[in-house]
Structure 1
Amino acid sequence: MTTPGSSATPFGRALCAMITPFTGTGALDLDGAQRLADHLVSAGCEGLVLSGTTGESPTTTDAEKTALVTAVREAVDGRASVVAGVGTFDTRHTVELALAAEKAGADGLLVVSPYYSRPPQDALEAHFREVADASGLPLMLYDIPGRTGTRIEPTTMIRLAGHPRIVAVKDCSYDFLAAQKVLAATELAYYAGCDEHNLALYAVGGAGYVSTVANVIPAQLRAVLDAFEAGDTPVSARLQQRATPLVESVTASGLPGTVTAKALLTRLGLPAGPVRPPLLPADREATDELMAVYGEFVGAG
């Protein structure tokens, strides 16, 4: 398994929740995915997370997910970790996707809480353990109750940390206290899943981030962590603050991050393509506003 991180950062620190490029007709664009992956890694991403929320996993087929892992694995050629999103609302299906991702060359698995059925905590724990037992790959648990309807409670997280292949968490719980409690009680690598928390979580012992905004400004977000790691907290804070308007525009503008990231990437001439229904693309006015904020960010640099 190729990973640039240590045991404390099993998939690296600066991870991008990569969009899934499509052609103009909505087909999977594997060439575009390879070009985007190479661009992101060359700009400082230490890992790419595929087929997550930003990657439109609900609307890609099993075959497309596997093909995407294979293509991106080839493009990064050991320069970054490749984490495959395999979580579904069905344990059996999730296991099937996990095994397919392992065969395709993934370095790890992103496993979201089962959605819609809203399993209680004992069932949720059993689900994650069954997926972890099924393959030889390390797991990153994805806690995003705003989308799944189910929280991975801190006590459940602490029990799951005892499994040898459950090594990390993508935290979109917006519960900073709970994150610190789990960090203090376990050796789980905690990754900020909300870009406004990138520096804050890293400062209290987090492993880094899995970022939607890194699709657009990968080098600048990596610089936040680098400055903090170098001991220059004021510079790190300024860099995080400078990115805040763009973070807000991409992730909190009323449009899904997939939609805003793809709108910006398209304007910037990078592979993206349309979103798949039920999502709708950003209209011209929204895209112009995004580009204005992006232009201010770049100009302030």
Structure 2
Amino acid sequence: MFHGLSAFPLTPTDEDGVDESAVAELVARLDRAGVDSIGALGSTGGYAYLSREQRRRVAQVAVRAAGDTPVLVGIGALRTADVLRHAEDAQRAGAAAVLLAPVSYQPLTDDEVYGLYADVAAELSVPLCVYDNPGTTHVVFSDELHGRIAELPAVGSIKIPATPPEPAQARARVARLRAVLPDRVTIGVSGDPAGAGGLLAGCDAWYSVLGGLWPQVCLAITRAARAGDDDGAHRLSDRLAPLWELFARHGSLRVVSAIAEQAGLIGTPNLPRPLLPLPAEARRHVAAVVEELTPELSEPPGRA
């Protein structure tokens, strides 16, 4: 399941809790679109803002709504004991794999990061994807640490940050990491503007925020890149440059939340406080970008 397009949908949330029916519809759209896997409770899924019970329910709803599409469930938390509880809940819900970022408040040493993954891996009956996301965790993985963690039998994939934009540098980055990993461990790229480049550089998967909302165009990028069609993959990705600019300016979670709300996929408000929706001017900008892009995309961001 750690190949191709892994689409990460929102978890529509307000101060009253999670909108489970909206979660189910967002996930079902991805199953119908034919994505390779679905990432529930990733960063876009707001896992860090949800209680254990809310996360347990989201995992259950997502697995049911996903049909035959495998579901990857995020289990990150500050304490190892809580990570283990989330892992248990995800497995009981039927998750095909779990996604773990080393969430921290105190800076973690390499031994502490390794210890987290070793403790969790020892308790798993499903594969684990290592989530390397220094922008939120402030943990910087060395290739040596990645290689050490990847020797744990449960590890099936590593989700890395965006690869360099220059193709030769991107290929070199992926090759350096590949050299320290067992053959069974795949590499997936995140950071949507780098999706095409990462796949063309040799990554096996694209862990995509936009894929959770616009799966068809992201599938087209993924298939072109995996077929070695450099021009086709970059052409499709470059068409989305206005969205990538919005992601950089406002954060992808706020932007895809605004798009999903404007499309009627989720209600409003839909972000857990202290997160706030985009201000009115930014929302108008998002709407204008979506209107401009929608006729060119194979699927508009509405109900499938």
Both proteins in one fold, TM over 0.5 = yes
Q: Offset of 1:54 from its aligned partner?
A: 0.9
Q: Offset of 1:261 from its aligned partner?
A: 0.8
What is the distance in 1 between the residues matched to 2:214 and 2:67? 22
Counterpart in the other structure of 2:211: 214
Counterpart in the other structure of 2:233: 236
Q: Does residue 117 of structure 1 match 2:106? A: yes
1:295 aligned partner, one-letter code: E
Q: Does residue 291 of structure 1 match 2:283? A: no
Q: Does residue 60 of structure 1 match 2:50? A: yes
SS at match of 1:185: coil
What is the distance in 1 between the residues matched to 2:71 and 2:54? 15
What is the distance in 2 between the residues matched to 1:56 and 1:109? 15
Q: Does residue 34 of structure 1 match 2:20? A: no
Counterpart in the other structure of 2:33: 43
Deviates more, 1:66-75 or 1:36-45: 36-45
Change (3 A) 1:54 1:27: same
Q: Offset of 1:178 from its aligned partner?
A: 4.4
Change (3 A) 1:98 1:272: farther
Write the deviation string for residues 158-201 of structure 1: whole angstroms up to 9, x where unpaired.
11111111111111265655443112332321111101111111
What is the distance in 1 between the residues matched to 2:177 and 2:42? 23
* Superposition map of 1:123-202 within 5 A: 123-172=112-161, 176=170, 178-186=173-181, 187=183, 188-202=185-199
Counterpart in the other structure of 1:74: 64
SS at match of 1:110: strand
Q: How many residues align?
A: 288
Change (3 A) 1:213 1:260: same
Q: Does residue 22 of structure 1 match 2:13? A: yes
Q: Offset of 1:220 from its aligned partner?
A: 0.3
Runs of 5+ unmatched residues, structure 2: 165-169, 298-304
Aligned-residue sequence identity (percent) comes to: 23
SS at match of 1:14: strand
SS at match of 2:17: coil
SS at match of 1:206: coil
SS at match of 2:176: helix
1:267 aligned partner, one-letter code: Q
Change (3 A) 1:185 1:109: same
Q: Offset of 1:120 from its aligned partner?
A: 0.7
What is the distance in 1 between the residues matched to 2:193 and 2:44? 16
What is the distance in 2 between the residues matched to 1:236 and 1:126? 39
2:224 aligned partner, one-letter code: A
Q: Does residue 281 of structure 1 match 2:277? A: yes
TM-score by length of 2: 0.89
Q: Offset of 1:229 from its aligned partner?
A: 3.1
Counterpart in the other structure of 2:301: none
Of 238, 256, 262, the match for 1:261 = 256
Q: Is the CA contact 2:124–2:154 (under 8 Å) kept in the aligned structure 1?
A: no
